[in-house]
């Protein structure tokens, strides 16, 4: 059974550009959530999707957005990149919702120069 797959693994972008990250959840999982990990702030929740609907959102600016497709795959978009957006972005999938175990992908390392 394949795990959570995130692409690409590494990305270098220039300030002001935009970027799209992809996450394919474990087969059968319908909930996908996104997290940003930085050395200073640790892991912070971005947003969570279930059946193509955003159910919860963290405290990030509107430059951070996401969506989920009918096959549960999810994308995260960051527009007008800033140096401070450099981080490891992690995606997690779970079967349904809060009572179920979350499984994480290997992450996408984004570097903004």
Partner 1 sequence: KQEVTQIPAALSVPEGENLVLNCSFTDSAIYNLQWFRQDPGKGLTSLLLIQSSQREQTSGRLNASLDKSSGRSTLYIAASQPGDSATYLCAVNRDDKIIFGKGTRLHILP
Q: How far is the CB of 103 from partner 1 (least distance, A)?
A: 6
**Where along the sequence are the contacts to partner 1 (CB under 8 A)?**
4, 6, 31, 33, 35, 42-45, 48, 50, 55-56, 58, 88, 90, 92, 97-99, 101-107, 109
With respect to partner 1, which residue has the nearer C-beta, 40 or 62?
40
| Total residues belonging to the chain | 113
Q: Backbone dihedral region of 107: left (phi > 0), alpha (psi from -120 to 50 degrees) or beta?
A: left
Q: Backbone dihedral region of 43: left (phi > 0), alpha (psi from -120 to 50 degrees) or beta?
A: beta
With respect to partner 1, which residue has the nearer C-beta, 18 or 97?
97
């Amino acid at each position: 059974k394949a795990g959570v797959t995130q692409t690409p693994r590494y990305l270098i972008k220039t300030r002001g550009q935009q970027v799209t990250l992809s996450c394919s959840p474990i087969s059968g999982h319908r909930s996908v959530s996104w997290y940003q990990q930085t050395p200073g702030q640790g892991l912070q929740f971005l947003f969570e999707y279930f059946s193509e609907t955003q159910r919860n959102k963290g405290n990030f600016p509107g430059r951070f957005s996401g969506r989920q497709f009918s096959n549960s795959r999810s994308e995260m978009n960051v527009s007008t990149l800033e140096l401070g957006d450099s981080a490891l972005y992690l995606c997690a999938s779970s079967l349904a919702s809060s009572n179920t175990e979350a499984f994480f992908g290997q992450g996408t390392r984004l570097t903004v120069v």
